[in-house]
Amino acid sequence: MTVEIRFHVQLQDPVGYACRLIRKALKQGVQLGVWAPKSVLRQLDQQLWTFDDQAFLPHVILEDGTDPVLRDRSPVWLGDQLEPLVARPVLVNLGQEPVLQPERFAKLAELVGTDDWAMHQARQRFVAYRQAGLSPQRHEAAG
């Protein structure tokens, strides 16, 4: 599978930006996964409940004991482990590690904040994808 990798950079609020991406994907009927450390997932979970006062953004955190019926009905999966998220065609990466075998996804969105460490880690991921023969794109995001 050919993967489209887009780095959304200079984000003042990567978690808030993820909420907007998720809302857009849901409106288009796209199922997706979000890969991030647990602390970021908790913050995202909280914001997804309150982000849009006109609509609920359905999602589930994948962890031990997650109800399989709830998981299967939810279009958005949040996880700190990559492997379960491979079942989704689109992945949003809010972490610092490159996605191993990114070609397992149709689209990969790398969300990058404004601080020096986040930019440094993003550059390393960008290079890793290039070295794997992929063509990541940079997207200057507003917000």
Residue 38 CB partners (closer than 8 Å, separation 6+): 80
Using alpha carbons, select from 15, 57, 64 the residue that is nearest to residue 36. 15
Quote the pTM value: 0.93
Residue 106 burial (CB count, 10 A): 15
* Tens of pLDDT, residues 61-94: 998 888 889 899 999 999 999 999 999 999 999 9
Q: Is the confidence at residue 143, as pLDDT, over 60?
A: no
Residue 109 CB partners (closer than 8 Å, separation 6+): 6, 8, 21, 90, 91, 92, 93
* Tens of pLDDT, residues 103-130: 999 999 999 999 999 999 999 999 999 9
Using alpha carbons, select from 12, 15, 7 the residue that is nearest to residue 125. 7
* Tens of pLDDT, residues 86-97: 999 999 999 999
Q: How much is the pLDDT for 51?
A: 85
Which segments of 4-143 are extended strands (E)?
Answer: 4-11, 32-35, 60-61, 76-79, 90-93, 107-113, 137-140
Residue 87 CB partners (closer than 8 Å, separation 6+): 33, 77
